[in-house]
Chain A
Amino acid sequence: MEFTGTEAYLTNPALEAAVRCSLVLEKPLLVRGEPGTGKTLLAEAVAQALGMPLITWHVKSTTRAQEGLYHYDTVQRLYDSRFGDHDVRDIREYIHMGALGRAFQSPERVVLLIDEIDKADIEFPNDLLHELDRMRFTVMETGDEVSASHRPVVIITSNAEKELPDAFLRRCIFHYIDFPDRELMARIVDVHHPGLDRSLLDHALTAFFAVRGMDRIRKPPSTSELVDWIAMLQTAGADSVELDEATPFLGTLLKKEQDMQAFVSQVSGRRRF
């Protein structure tokens, strides 16, 4: 099993080696990096390249570890008991598997994406340690054990901002996605906008990296913003673009009012404090 990216997802040797280690060691791959560096897309690309189904678990601030395992729908059971058109004696009818549960039960090996694990409670990753280690858990209500016949390929993403517990980190293969350099960025844009005018690409990239390098930009634009911006420029028929106060569609790149102001003050050469 070898992962070398897909047509739409470009990789580098470091990322390929990390995926390879994760596959052969059957350990979760933790991917960190700035927003917009393609952390989530990696899981889709791996699933596509290895021909495995993808199961995604989007973590939110209120997500608890239990939800990933299973959910016991008491309310439905109570409701059914009232009308008597279901056999409510079988509790298994009311146990619904979460993302982890489905990944374990799957008859084939799957890719399990735990997306943005840092969004949940600070203790959340620790609550999953055991299940991810053993790849099995017990349904309390029935005593059934759910265990993985094929250990899923687990890919976990996290923003660079938050820290994860050491015990959790030790169990993972780690990869930090660097922000693409100019060369790679040109290839990425090429995937999204094939046959783009060279001079426009050149101008746009120069402008893009100049904006990213500016001081006091709170939320620097990322890959997806660049791709959108170029789409806008193309639609408008632009063949070059300069960074000044009249730069077209700047709102696609900078989404915050303060960033816009910081930009304007810097391109016009006046520094405001």
Chain B
Amino acid sequence: MPSGDEVTRELSDPHQGPGPFFLGLLYRLRDQDVAVGPTEALALAAALRAGAHDDSVRGFYYAARATLIHHEGHLDAFDRAFLAEYGDLDWDTSLTEQLREWLDEQSGRLDDLPENAEMPDVAELLEMFEQRKREQQERHDGGPYWIGTGGKSPLGQAGTAAQGLSTGSSGGGRAAIRIADMRSYRPYRSDVTLDIRQMEVALRRLRAFVREGAHDELDIEATIDETARNAGEIEVVTRPPSRPDTHVVLMIDVGGSMFPYSQLMSQLFSATKKATHFKELRTFYFHNCVYGKVYGTDRFTEPVWVHDLLRECGPHYKLIMVGDAFMAPYELGQAGPWSATDATRVPGIEWLRILTDHFRDAVWLNPEPLSRWSGTTIEEVGRVFEMFPLTTEGLTEAMAHLNRGTPARRG
């Protein structure tokens, strides 16, 4: 463990030395898509300089976790990175001696750790841990394997307890490798929820407010104006509170070709459901293309005639279609199977036009990668609907499009 000054020097001058010894940990986290960067590195360096690690491997593990990780979904990634990086350190020994030696040994390796360093993938890493673990067990039994301790038994070195690390029930003597190896945060890994928030924020762009209802909010500006006009006699002016005024119709394709995107769909769905700024949200389902009817459930029950829907929902509703728009060309060009009972016999593409003609603001969100759009029915649907890829950026653009030129409807 270098002193605080050493850490700083190494941080500020990366060419001189190998960089702070914990850089490897950061890159292992980055490899697992945990966004750690200079902010976290500096925070950890400052924490170590201030002695927050209490001069022990255990303390270092906790201090690094508290400063580098910001979400319980990343705790498991941290355990894995820590294992990979420090799997052969003993939990209960003092850092000082070991890490200094270890640093020397590692310096060569840290040197070739630029951003584009080739890191083994997760499977390889896991294999590496396993191997190291076996190795450690064997050599541990056999004698002092520990790097840099120069013959001192690391187990005899357990000086951390005296530092006030009242570990209590946590059980002394457990190796770091085994603690991290418990991987107790595996259940918190959630690659899903991390993105729902971004979707929610994008959906927020559809905010619009209108004042309606009982006059129960004090209008301070108007009250002051009126009071002044009234020669100082208080004249209270009230107004109705501001309420959300966005109406949304959401139509989701639950066709067979949408199956690969079901997780993305449920993310979007929960983000829309959570959006409290919609005055009204109506969700419908369709299969591949809209023909005459849409459905209230994803099992195609509770049918609603499109014409009835258009009567109920005025042009000020914002229409969001979600689907891959990928189908056999005849599905777009010909009337749907239900049209036998529908005198109009309108082909799919016409139904889509009916929708865009009715709703002033309409977008189509497509989970298919952009590269697959051209030369398919996606292109054709894209001529009717403004189409956006279902990514965070695409969603944001789509919401901006829905708001374009349509100020909040008053009254």
Q: Which residues of the other chain, A, contact B51 by a CB distance below 8 angstroms?
A: 24
Q: Which residues of the other chain, B, contact A17 by a CB distance below 8 angstroms?
A: 52-54, 59, 62-63, 65-66
Interface string of B136-177 (1 = CB under 8 A from A): 000000000000000000000000000011111110000000
> How many residues does chain A have at the interface if contact means C-beta atoms less than 8 Å apart?
40
- A170 at interface, CB cutoff 8 A: yes
Q: Which residues of the other chain, A, contact B168 by a CB distance below 8 angstroms?
A: 12
**Whole-angstrom distance between the alpha carbons of A170 and B166 in the complex?**
29
Q: Give min CB distance, A31 to chain B, whole Å.
A: 11
Q: Give min CB distance, B54 to chain A, whole Å.
A: 8
B36 (CB) vs chain A CBs: closest residue = A170
Q: Give min CB distance, B51 to chain A, whole Å.
A: 8
Residue from the list A16, A27, A82 in contact with B233, Cβ < 8 A: A82
Residue from the list B47, B70, B188, B224 in contact with A21, Cβ < 8 A: B47
- B46 at interface, CB cutoff 8 A: yes
CB contact list, B87-104 vs A, under 8 A: none
Interface string of B165-201 (1 = CB under 8 A from A): 1111110000000000000110010000110110011
- B204 at interface, CB cutoff 8 A: yes
Q: Give min CB distance, B48 to chain A, whole Å.
A: 10
CB contact list, A102-130 vs B, under 8 A: 122-123
Q: Which residues of the other chain, B, contact A160 by a CB distance below 8 angstroms?
A: 72
Q: Are B70 and A174 in contact (CB under 8 A)?
A: yes
Q: Which residues of the other chain, B, contact A8 by a CB distance below 8 angstroms?
A: none
Q: Are A78 and B67 in contact (CB under 8 A)?
A: no
Looking at A25, A79, A160, A169, the one whose CB has the most chain B CB atoms below 10 A away is: A25
Q: Are A20 and B63 in contact (CB under 8 A)?
A: yes
Q: Are A75 and B218 in contact (CB under 8 A)?
A: yes
Q: Are A163 and B47 in contact (CB under 8 A)?
A: no
**With A24-B46, A25-B46, A176-B75 known to touch, is A13 a contact of B201 (CB < 8 Å)?**
no
Interface string of A121-161 (1 = CB under 8 A from B): 01100000000000000000000000000000000000010
Q: Give min CB distance, B164 to chain A, whole Å.
A: 7
Q: Which residues of the other chain, A, contact B63 by a CB distance below 8 angstroms?
A: 17, 20-21
- A81 at interface, CB cutoff 8 A: yes
Sorting the interface of chain B by its residue count into under 10, 10 to 19, 20 to 34 or 35 or more gives: 35 or more
Q: Are A20 and B52 in contact (CB under 8 A)?
A: yes
Q: Are B233 and A24 in contact (CB under 8 A)?
A: no
Residue from the list A12, A163, A166, A176 in contact with B188, Cβ < 8 A: A176
Q: Are B43 and A25 in contact (CB under 8 A)?
A: yes
- A39 at interface, CB cutoff 8 A: no
Q: Give min CB distance, B72 to chain A, whole Å.
A: 4
Q: Which residues of the other chain, A, contact B58 by a CB distance below 8 angstroms?
A: 13
CB contact list, A4-59 vs B, under 8 A: 4, 12-14, 16-18, 20-22, 24-25, 27, 30, 32
Q: Are A82 and B170 in contact (CB under 8 A)?
A: no
**Whole-angstrom distance between the alpha carbons of A92 and B274 in the complex?**
41
Residue from the list B62, B170, B227 in contact with A18, Cβ < 8 A: B62
Residue from the list B43, B71, B220, B232 in contact with A169, Cβ < 8 A: B71
Residue from the list B165, B201, B227 in contact with A122, Cβ < 8 A: B201
Q: Are A82 and B220 in contact (CB under 8 A)?
A: no
Q: Are B66 and A175 in contact (CB under 8 A)?
A: yes
**Whole-angstrom distance between the alpha carbons of A30 and B69 in the complex?**
11
Q: Which residues of the other chain, A, contact B309 by a CB distance below 8 angstroms?
A: none
**With A27-B43, A122-B204, A163-B196 known to touch, is A21 a contact of B67 (CB < 8 Å)?**
yes
Residue from the list B47, B53, B165, B223 in contact with A78, Cβ < 8 A: B223
Q: Give min CB distance, B197 to chain A, whole Å.
A: 4
Q: Are B62 and A184 in contact (CB under 8 A)?
A: no
Q: Are B170 and A25 in contact (CB under 8 A)?
A: no
- A165 at interface, CB cutoff 8 A: yes
Identify 29 residue pairs between A and B in the complex whose beta-carbon atoms are under 8 Å apart, listed by A's number: A4-B166, A12-B170, A16-B165, A17-B52, A17-B54, A17-B62, A17-B66, A18-B62, A21-B47, A21-B52, A24-B47, A24-B50, A25-B43, A25-B50, A25-B52, A25-B67, A32-B72, A75-B218, A78-B227, A82-B232, A82-B234, A165-B201, A169-B70, A170-B40, A174-B71, A175-B66, A176-B72, A176-B185, A187-B169
B residues near A, CB below 8 A? 35, 39-40, 43, 46-47, 50-54, 58-59, 62-63, 65-67, 69-72, 75, 164-170, 184-185, 188, 193-194, 196-197, 200-201, 204, 218, 220, 223-224, 227, 232-234
A residues near B, CB below 8 A? 2, 4, 12-14, 16-18, 20-22, 24-25, 27, 30, 32, 74-75, 78-79, 81-82, 122-123, 160, 163-166, 169-170, 172-176, 178, 183-184, 187
